[in-house]
Chain A
């Protein structure tokens, strides 16, 4: 139980996917203009990443390993993720229209979000069990959501700033992200090892 808790803590705060592993930077910089959309994106990523971690673990363990096809994991995982995203989209559209209208526009973007494939690959690389994989996928996505929502708040303030001309726009956003990453580096003190 304690191990699982430490795994969650480290995935959310200490090794935050965005601020220390740099996975999922494209949506992080692209869809963080407003806290509402950022939260929507975060929820969609959490949903897909938890499911994808579970499914890719099963695919690797019960299909790729028995046939000695471990080297095909990248192709297999990206196809599984793309199919899963498509399936979730169809399922939500049919059965939970309210959730679909909230998350719908973000779902196609998730296929090319490297956080999802990254979590699936890290689960295999770290040799996690099924439970650990699902927990890791879920909590890494929570860390992603936390980071993107906090950053959307910061960006709303940045709009009002008046920086030098060459810094306006993207450079300023990157520097603000750097400062946020520095704050997150402080969580390194939490790790027990």
Chain B
């Protein structure tokens, strides 16, 4: 295990290799469930839980799954955890369950989870894989909540359901489907700007 793996991996997951803002994977739930910050956060947490556990178990079973049928094997493991999450949400968070609707079972086909299983968990021991799942899930959650918060503040004048702007200042387009694409477009552009700033700083540092 390389030194500094845990800290670096956390930075990668949230910033440098953020699944949504840098790698552009897992777009469907990103666009669909960010109508409010609460929904976005709930979706992020659900994905993080599934990702962490599926990474852990795929890593534990990596020597037993034949490589010809590995994708099907991964999908079965992932969908088992998705079913668990779905049933827990149905039992304890009914309003969130109905707000996220069909997108909870659709976590199964989220490209992010399969991508981490294939790229990381199938090649690494269990503990780093679990950590990878948590980091990537956190990056996903942060990006989702950010987008949800932006859309909710500008579109409905509220944050986590707490309204603070009068109705005349709402840009209701942003909570409609079209707003999802446009808000994410601007967020990614902002992230690109930030990354190029970082890159410049790094180059300057190298010169000194």
Name A residues whose Cβ lies closer than 8 Å to a Cβ of B: 19-26, 29, 71-75, 78-79, 82, 111-114, 117-118, 121-122, 125, 164-167, 170-175, 177-179, 181-182, 185
Contacts and interface: CB of A to CB of B under 8 A. Distances in A.
A22 B32 contact: yes
Contact of A174 (B32, B173, B182, B190): B182
A112 B111 contact: yes
Contacts of A26: 25, 27-28, 111
Contacts of B80: 75
A27 B185 CA distance: 17
B182 to A, nearest CB: 4
A178 B102 CA distance: 22
B128 interface: no
Contacts of A164: 189
Interface residues of B, number: 42
A114 B106 contact: yes
A128 to B, nearest CB: 14
B75 A125 contact: no
* Residue of B24, B82, B101, B173 ringed by the most chain A CB atoms within 10 A: B24
B88 to A, nearest CB: 12
A173 to B, nearest CB: 8
B11 interface: no
A171 B188 contact: yes
Contact of A166 (B27, B102, B192): B192
Nearest to B79: A75
B181 interface: yes
18 contacts: A21-B32, A22-B27, A22-B28, A25-B27, A26-B28, A26-B111, A71-B83, A74-B108, A82-B72, A114-B106, A114-B109, A166-B189, A167-B185, A171-B189, A174-B184, A177-B181, A178-B180, A182-B178
Contacts of A166: 189-190, 192-193, 196
Interface in B69-93: 71-72, 75-76, 79-80, 82-83, 86-87
B109 A170 contact: no
Contacts of A78: 75, 79, 108-109
A175 B105 CA distance: 28
Given A114-B28, A170-B188, A178 B178 contact: yes
A127 B207 CA distance: 65
Contacts of A19: 177-178
Contacts of A178: 178-182, 185
B149 interface: no
B105 A117 contact: yes
A177 B27 CA distance: 13
Given A78-B108, A171-B185, A171-B192, A22 B82 contact: no
Contacts of B190: 166
Contact of A29 (B24, B178, B196): B24
Contacts of B86: 74
Contact of B177 (A111, A174, A181): A181
